[in-house]
Amino acid sequence: MHPTRIVAGRAIADFAREKKKEYATTINGQLKQHPTRMRQIPIEDLETSMNEGRFVFALGLEQTLLACAQIWPLPGDPSVIECGTWLRFTREPKGTGAMVLTEAAKLARALPETQMVIALVEEENGLAQTVLQNLGGELIGKRPSDYVIASKGQPATMSVFNIMKLGGK
C-alpha cells in the first residue's frame, strides 16, 4: 500500500508550474473519459484553480496523483460552494476519493462567505452517491446540470448533496 499525503489549497498553488501542468493534464484526461457524467474543464482552467488554492490532492509516492477534488462558488450564489472534479486515479489505496472530498468540504467551509457546501453527482453514478451517503452527505434534491450533457444531448440529471458537515465542523 502506498503512503498517502493530502495536500490542499495554497500548498498546491506553491507547486512548480510544470507539476501543476502535469496534474491538470492528468485530470483533464480523466474528465474526458466521463463526458456524460462530469463537467469538462480545460487544462488552463484547472491550472488557474490550482493557483487560486481551490484543489485538494491525495498524493502517493513521488507525488503520484491518487485522487483530487476542486471547489468553486455556485454561479449566482457565492455563499454556496460546490465540490466537484472529484476523481480517483488508482484503486489502491482505498479511501482516497473520500479523503479528498472530505478535505475539499473543509476547504470550502473555511471561506468566509460559505453558507452551504454541495456536491452534484450524475444521478446514475451509484458508487459516488453511496460514498457521499456513507460520509454523511444528505441528498437534498435533483436538478438538470448546467454543464454535463447526457448521451441523448439533454442536460444530465444531477443528485444534489449537502456535504457541509463532512469532516466535522
How many CB atoms within 10 Å of residue 131?
19
H helices present in the chain, as ranges:
10-13, 17-32, 43-51, 96-109, 126-135
> Which of the four pLDDT bands, split at 50, 70 and 90, describes residue 59?
very high
Size (the chain), residues: 169
Tell me, yes or no, if the pTM score tops 0.75: yes
Set of cell numbers at residue 77: 450564489
DSSP 65: E
The pLDDT of residue 156 is 85
> What percent of the chain shows pLDDT beyond 70?
98
Q: Exposed, middle or buried by CB within 10 Å (0-12, 13-18, 19+), for 113?
A: exposed
CA distances from 64 to 23, 46, 89, 91, 112 (A): 9, 17, 9, 13, 32
Task: Look at the alpha carbons of 143, 126, 45, 47 in this order and tell me if their dihedral is positive or negative.
Answer: positive
Cβ atoms of 95 and 44 closer than 8 Å: no
Choice between 43 and 86, residue whose per-residue pLDDT is larger: 43
* Mean pLDDT value across residues 68-77: 92
pLDDT in tens, 10-24: 999 999 999 999 999
Q: How far apart are CA 134 and CA 144, in angstroms?
A: 24
Set of cell numbers at residue 101: 472530498
Domains of the chain with bracketed CATH: 5-162 (3.40.630.30)
Task: Look at the alpha carbons of 84, 167, 109, 139 in this order and tell me if their dihedral is positive or negative.
Answer: positive
SS3 category, 36: coil
pLDDT in tens, 123-141: 888 888 999 999 899 999 9
> Which of the four pLDDT bands, split at 50, 70 and 90, describes residue 91?
confident
